[in-house]
A and B are shown apart, each in its own frame.
Chain A
Amino acid sequence: MAKANEIKYLTAIKTEKPKKKFCRFKKYGIRYIDYKDAEFLKKFLNDQGKLLPRRLSGNSLKYQRKVSEAVKRARQMAILPYVTDLLK
């Protein structure tokens, strides 16, 4: 007979914690986000060219605002597309 206090799980419980996200601007001391640098801005976009949420990118609010501003400037100057498929 199994012991009464032995708990069995249907799925294995996660033992390792998910990696802590960080704001790369704070970590590397970047103070200005260049709208002309399309390759850098693509880090914060998904395949359709939409801006990734803070929940995924890990940016702090201050720098997320700056990223979104830079992306919008780049879009206006046709450096980045407004809508697309398979950006990366």
Chain B
Amino acid sequence: MQNYELMVIFTPVLSEEEFKASQKKYIDFITANKGEIVHTNPWGLRSLAYPVQKKTTGIYWVLEYNAPSDINEKLKIQLLRDEQVLRHQVIKLDKYAVEYNTRKRSGVSTGTEKAVEG
């Protein structure tokens, strides 16, 4: 079992229900493949730093999960087939990353604030 973080950019034309439905689709896919969802965080509509597929905005969604390592290839096929997905990225989280994410979620300072000022 490994900790992973998936970030997906959906097309901006999705309605609220369609966005929820696609989130549910991937969450169900992961749980069906013996994975566990740690946290899901829909960022919502954001402007992109550069146009992707001629779109200047996208709906971001970040999902943290815990799953066996063979899941990612299967998940990739699903994501690439999905026409609502502009881009996706799966990151393997190390123990510091997991700690950072839990601290960020609970609102405890992550230590980066001081470094930003300095």
List chain A positions with a Cβ less than 8 A from chain B: 24-25, 27-32, 34-37, 39-40, 43, 73, 75-82, 84
Contacts and interface: CB of A to CB of B under 8 A. Distances in A.
Contacts of B112: 28, 30, 34, 37, 40
Contacts, number: 61
23 contacts: A24-B115, A27-B118, A28-B112, A28-B114, A28-B115, A29-B111, A30-B115, A32-B94, A32-B96, A34-B97, A36-B7, A37-B112, A43-B116, A77-B7, A77-B9, A77-B87, A77-B89, A78-B9, A78-B50, A80-B49, A81-B49, A82-B49, A84-B49
Interface in B59-118: 62, 87, 89, 91, 94, 96-97, 99-100, 104, 110-112, 114-116, 118
Interface of B: 7, 9, 48-50, 52, 58, 62, 87, 89, 91, 94, 96-97, 99-100, 104, 110-112, 114-116, 118
